[in-house]
Homo-oligomer: A and B are copies of this chain.
Amino acid sequence: MLHYPEAVDQLIDELRTLPGVGRRAAERMALALLERDDASLMTLGGIISAIPEKVWRCPECGVMADKGETCEICSSPRRDRTLLCVVENMSQLLAVESSCQYNGTYLVLGGHISPIDDELGTKLNLEGLKRKASSGTVKEIILALSSDVEGRATAAFLAEMLAEYPDIRVSRPALGLPAGANLSYANAATIGAALRGRTVENS
Contact = CB atoms under 8 A, between A and B. Distances in A.
A195 interface: no
A97 B1 contact: yes
A199 B42 CA distance: 51
A34 B51 contact: yes
Interface of A: 1-8, 10-11, 14, 18-21, 25, 27-29, 31-35, 38, 41-52, 54-55, 63-66, 72-73, 89-91, 93-94, 97-98, 100
Top 6 nearest A-B pairs (CB, nearest first) are A45-B49, A45-B48, A7-B54, A38-B52, A45-B45, A5-B66
B43 A55 contact: no
Q: Is the interface of A mostly helix, strand, loop or mixed?
A: helix
Nearest to A14: B44
A97 B3 CA distance: 11
Contact of A90 (B6, B11, B31): B31
6 contacts: A1-B100, A10-B47, A14-B43, A41-B52, A45-B48, A45-B50
B2 A93 contact: yes
A64 B25 contact: no
Given A2-B63, A38-B52, 13 more contacts: A2-B73, A7-B50, A7-B55, A14-B47, A19-B28, A27-B94, A28-B91, A31-B91, A33-B48, A34-B51, A35-B89, A42-B52, A45-B51
A66 B73 CA distance: 48
A164 B194 CA distance: 78
Most chain B C-beta atoms within 10 Å of own C-beta, residue among A48, A91, A93:
A48
